[in-house]
């Protein structure tokens, strides 16, 4: 029986993960890559060798995930590095490299990295990279049952979407999280519709849940929106204050504007006009 994750600290929330990706392109911040960050500075000396048929046995024995993306086990043009992280007595981190460039510009670039985070001999997380070293895609088996249940896509080194199978049984996501500039923007969930499609929509603003839409009839359309009453009250208070200031100024005064909960002008006025330009 494979080991299950017992420490709450081992799991990084989507919000924290988004913040980490936003602060540094390619930062090690997802659930499984927390383990990599912990062992990054303590890796034992790497064993590096050309990939190809000779490495195929190891790939089959440890559930290699990189081979699905870069086919390293049958490609002698790629190079494989095996390292043992902190707490591991045998290699549990595999990196696949490709040589790019010509003459003085030749260099090795990381294409894929996979890790056995619970040290049971089976790789359970994989991340691919572009030639700039920016992350492209990540997949993880977060409960160590041999099936991927977490999929992450990146754009320009930042997290863009995370899909999660919270049932650990379906083999497909039932939660879809979307990020803008590294911040959580919205979440779609399948909570009750048997067609597997989203039936709940969550909208976030400044990392705060603003409103939730529900599809009670499973027709793909929101039947009811529930809004954060405190957030709405704050928005209305800010709007009333802006309207009062415009009224006090009288004719020829500032143009009435719409103000967000944090005091930002969303339309009208000089600020909004300059944005339109």
Taking residues 83-105, report their average pLDDT.
Answer: 91
Among candidates 202, 205, 199, 173, which has minimal Cα distance to 186?
202
Q: How confident is the model at residue 55 (pLDDT cuts 50, 70, 90)?
A: low
- 1: pLDDT strictly greater than 70: no
Q: How confident is the model at residue 14 (pLDDT cuts 50, 70, 90)?
A: very low
Q: Match 């041999």 to its residue by tokens.
A: 146
Task: In whole angstroms, give the CA distance from residue 14 to residue 12.
Answer: 7
Q: Beta strand 200-205 with 107-115: parallel, antiparallel or unpaired?
A: unpaired
Taking residues 118-124, report their average pLDDT.
Answer: 95
Residue 207: what pLDDT?
A: 86
- 219: pLDDT strictly greater than 50: yes
Task: In whole angstroms, give the CA distance from residue 136 to residue 126.
Answer: 11
Task: In whole angstroms, give the CA distance from residue 177 to residue 14.
Answer: 8
Among candidates 162, 160, 108, 109, which has minimal Cα distance to 140?
162
Residue 84: what pLDDT?
A: 95
Is-contact 239 231, C-beta < 8 A?
A: no
Taking residues 200-211, report their average pLDDT.
Answer: 92
Q: Beta strand 208-214 with 200-205: parallel, antiparallel or unpaired?
A: antiparallel
- 98: pLDDT strictly greater than 70: yes
Is-contact 262 242, C-beta < 8 A?
A: no
Strand ranges in 156-261 using DSSP code E only, listed in sequence order: 158-164, 175-180, 183-189, 200-205, 208-214, 224-227, 258-259
């Amino acid at each position: 029986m494979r080991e299950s994750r017992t420490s709450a600290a081992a799991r990084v929330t989507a919000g924290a993960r988004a913040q980490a990706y936003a602060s540094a392109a390619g930062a090690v911040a997802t659930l499984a890559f927390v383990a990599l960050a912990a062992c990054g500075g303590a890796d034992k000396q790497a064993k590096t060798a050309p990939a190809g048929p000779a490495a195929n046995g190891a790939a089959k024995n440890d559930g290699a995930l990189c081979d699905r993306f870069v086919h390293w086990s049958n490609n002698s043009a790629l190079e494989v590095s095996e390292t043992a992280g902190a707490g591991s007595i045998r290699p549990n981190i595999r990196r696949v490299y490709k040589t790019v460039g010509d003459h003085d510009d030749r260099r090795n670039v990381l294409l894929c990295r996979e890790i056995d985070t619970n040290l049971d001999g089976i790789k359970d997380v994989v991340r691919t990279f572009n030639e700039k070293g920016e992350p492209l895609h990540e997949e993880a088996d977060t409960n160590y049952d041999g099936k991927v249940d977490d999929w992450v896509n990146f754009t320009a080194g930042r997290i863009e979407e995370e899909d999660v199978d919270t049932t650990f049984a379906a083999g497909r996501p039932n939660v879809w999280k979307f990020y803008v500039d590294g911040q959580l923007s919205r979440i779609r969930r399948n909570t009750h519709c048997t067609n597997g499609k989203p039936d709940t929509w969550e909208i976030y603003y400044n990392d705060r849940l603003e409103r939730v839409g529900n599809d009670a009839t499973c027709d793909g359309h929101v039947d009811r929106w529930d809004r954060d009453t405190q957030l709405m009250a704050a928005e209305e208070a800010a709007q009333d204050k802006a309207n009062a200031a415009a009224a006090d100024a009288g004719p020829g005064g500032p143009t009435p504007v719409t103000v967000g909960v944090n005091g930002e002008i969303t339309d009208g006025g000089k600020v909004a006009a300059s944005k339109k330009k």
